[in-house]
Amino acid sequence: MREGRQAVCDSIEESLAKLKTGYIDLLLIHWPVKDCVKQTWQVMEEYVRRGLVMSIGVSNFNRHHLDDLLSYAEIRPVINQIEVHPLMTQEENIAYNRELGIQVEAWGPFGQGDIDVVGHPLLQSLARKYQKSASQIVLRWIVQRDLITIPRAKPSHFAENMKIMTFSLSDEDMQAISGLNQNLRSNVLNDPETFPW
């Protein structure tokens, strides 16, 4: 079994080979796995300096994870990919990332598992009001918060998702959606503080 630094190097080299390209646009650390982040980040920085990776970032990092990373990082993460949906708004985490100049990318915008975000009565009501789907309402709420989003979608949803740029939600409706927050993760295993590594 590969360990530590060599495992990271091998993984990046394998990705480069599979992609059949001379560089990777963006490489992320997927979880803040204790005792693994520093070495992984330093290897990723080396690949940036060598021109084999253009940008590096993180996923699922909370404030203290970012503080720890920034205590030794020579290259600041360009992005932090975190779970964001109307029942998990992540206001404080987003604000801290912005303060640090790190772009936030929202994963799981519709919730997952037992969480049915788009079926919420408020979102259904707003869908009727704006003559859009509840999914479009959620995606528009995310985009109006100046976040990037990555919804899982079937090809038939692509055109619908692109139409979120044809309307805007009122400030009142934005606040109403944000007011749904319950700090509810789509899966208890998705909590970076207790992720079972």
Encode pLDDT of 66-123 as tens digits: 999 999 999 999 999 999 999 999 999 999 999 999 999 999 999 887 788 999 999 9
Mean pLDDT of the chain: 92
Is pLDDT of 191 > 90? no
Is the confidence at residue 196, as pLDDT, over 80?
Answer: no
Q: Is the Cα dihedral 91, 95, 60, 152 positive or negative?
A: positive
Cα separations in angstroms, 23 against 77, 79, 192:
18, 18, 29
Cβ–Cβ contacts within 10 Å for residue 117, how many?
23
Place of tokens 């020579």: 74
Q: Quick one: pLDDT at residue 26?
A: 97
- Given a contact cutoff of 8 angstroms between Cβ atoms, the answer to whether 12 and 48 are in contact is no
Question: Cα separation of 160 and 179, whole Å?
Answer: 25
* Residue ranges in 71-133 assigned as alpha helix (H): 91-100, 121-130
- Does the pLDDT at position 25 exceed 50? yes
How high is the pLDDT of residue 197?
A: 56
Closest listed residue to residue 174, CA positions, set 107, 96, 89, 79: 89
pLDDT band at 1 (very low <50, low <70, confident <90, very high): very low
What percent of the chain is predicted at pLDDT more than 70? 97
Find how far residue 194's CA is from the centre of its chain: 18
Q: How confident is the model at residue 190 (pLDDT cuts 50, 70, 90)?
A: confident
